[in-house]
């Protein structure tokens, strides 16, 4: 057992800053090209000058990073979990990505729609279960979605420790307003 821990520690020392930031779901941006590597990983693309895919990186290290993330952020999951471990969307588009995309969080109210729901032929794009693009965004009636906690609860994915902690945090169950960069010409986009 101690041999495995030493081996994992050595592997962690070999990781680049942007790979560690991806695994930890660090919110800060990294300057320069390392920042671009983090941007790529958060979108499911490879890093810079490395053949390791973000999926392989997550598969190799999630046993170490996911429990720590959940302990620090009950009722939430990191971007890598959403990309690779969240429930898959069973909606059929008749395209190559059928069955590979994360199941999005449910929209509860608000104006507008995601382009793929508004009849446009685009690949659905989500971050943390929320759409990254939006048609007819109305600041007076912004779209509201179920919280991350409600999504995880609906799928039976909350740990017992999380359930206990969240009993005293009713705000974690409140709906989430879709808010992001908005441009009249291009519509609403993820700020990430």
Rounded to two decimals, the pTM is 0.83
Residue 27: the pLDDT is: 77
Each residue of 124-169: pLDDT tens digit?
A: 999 999 998 898 889 899 999 999 999 999 999 999 999 999 999 9
Whether the predicted pLDDT of 177 surpasses 80? yes
- For the beta sheet containing 144-145, the strands, ordered from the edge strand earlier in sequence to the opposite edge, are 107-109, 144-145, 176-177
Residue 43 confidence class, pLDDT cut points 50, 70, 90: confident
Whether the predicted pLDDT of 191 surpasses 80? no
Residue 34: the pLDDT is: 62
């Amino acid at each position: 057992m101690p041999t495995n821990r030493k081996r994992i520690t050595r592997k962690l020392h070999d990781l680049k800053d942007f790979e560690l930031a991806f695994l930890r779901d660090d919110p800060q941006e990294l300057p320069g090209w390392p920042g671009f590597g983090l941007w790529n990983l958060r979108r499911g693309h490879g890093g810079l000058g490395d053949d390791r895919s973000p999926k392989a990186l997550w598969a190799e290290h999630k046993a170490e990073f996911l429990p720590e993330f959940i302990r620090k952020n009950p009722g939430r999951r990191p971007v890598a979990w959403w990309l690779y471990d969240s429930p898959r969307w069973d909606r059929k588009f008749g395209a190559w990505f059928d069955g590979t995309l994360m199941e999005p969080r449910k929209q509860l109210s608000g104006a507008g729609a995601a382009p793929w729901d508004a009849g446009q032929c685009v690949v659905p794009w989500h971050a943390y279960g929320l759409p990254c693009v939006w048609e007819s965004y109305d600041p007076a009636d912004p779209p509201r979605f179920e919280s991350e906690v409600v999504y995880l609860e609906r799928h039976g994915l909350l740990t017992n420790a999380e359930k206990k902690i969240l009993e005293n945090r009713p705000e974690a169950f409140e709906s989430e307003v879709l808010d992001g960069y908005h441009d009249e010409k291009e519509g609403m986009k993820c700020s990430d």
